[in-house]
């Protein structure tokens, strides 16, 4: 059940575009709140709020350096989230099933033209 709660928190955290952008930035290396706030044109407190959500979801951790408290990605949560490769698969499966229909339609159209 704990894993379920954690995954729930992970996906809630991932649902926000600013937080995803923060994660994308952190994928390139650790950064301080100041460094994160700059490109987003957001206040430090606003960024800190997002960081708290990400930290609670276990997606990032903060360094101990009291001044800077650099943020970095935590691999494990993303790995857990990656179990959702299955969701990715289903998304494409739905698309490709629809593509089957489009191809059938194209074959019909071509058959008509051929006659």
Partner 1 sequence: MKKLTVTTDVPTEIHMTRTFNAPRRMVREAMTKPELVRKWMGNSRSPLSSIESDVRPGGRYRYVFQLPDGSTFAIVGQYREISDERIVHTESMEGMPGESVVTTTLTEKDGKTTLKIVMAFPTQEIRDMVVSTGMADGAGESYDNLEALLASSPQLSA
**Does residue 81 touch partner 1 according to CB under 8 A?**
yes
**Farthest CA pair distance, the chain:** 78
Q: Could you say which residues in the range 34-63 bind partner 1, by CB under 8 A?
A: none
Beta strands in 2-114 (DSSP E): 60-62, 71-73
Tell me the site size for partner 1, rule CB under 8 A: 47
Which stretch in 22-30, 43-51, 61-69 sits in contact with partner 1 by CB under 8 A?
Answer: 22-30
Q: Exposure of 1 by Cβ count < 10 A (0-12 exposed, 13-18 middle, 19+ buried)? A: exposed
Beta bridge partners of 72: 61
Positions touching partner 1 (CB under 8 A) are 1, 3-4, 7-8, 10-11, 14-15, 17, 20-21, 23-25, 27-28, 73, 75, 78-79, 81-85, 87-104, 106-107, 110
């Amino acid at each position: 059940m704990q894993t379920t709660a954690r995954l729930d928190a992970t996906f809630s955290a991932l649902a926000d575009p600013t937080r995803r952008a923060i994660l994308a930035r952190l994928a390139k290396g650790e950064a301080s709140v100041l460094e994160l706030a700059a490109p987003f044109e957001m206040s430090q407190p606003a960024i800190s709020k997002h960081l708290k959500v990400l930290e609670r979801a276990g997606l990032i951790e903060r360094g101990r350096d009291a001044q800077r408290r650099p943020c970095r990605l935590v691999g494990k949560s993303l790995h857990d989230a990656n179990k959702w490769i299955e969701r990715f698969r289903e998304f494409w499966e739905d698309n490709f099933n629809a593509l089957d229909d489009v191809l059938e339609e194209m074959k019909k159209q071509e058959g008509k033209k051929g006659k």
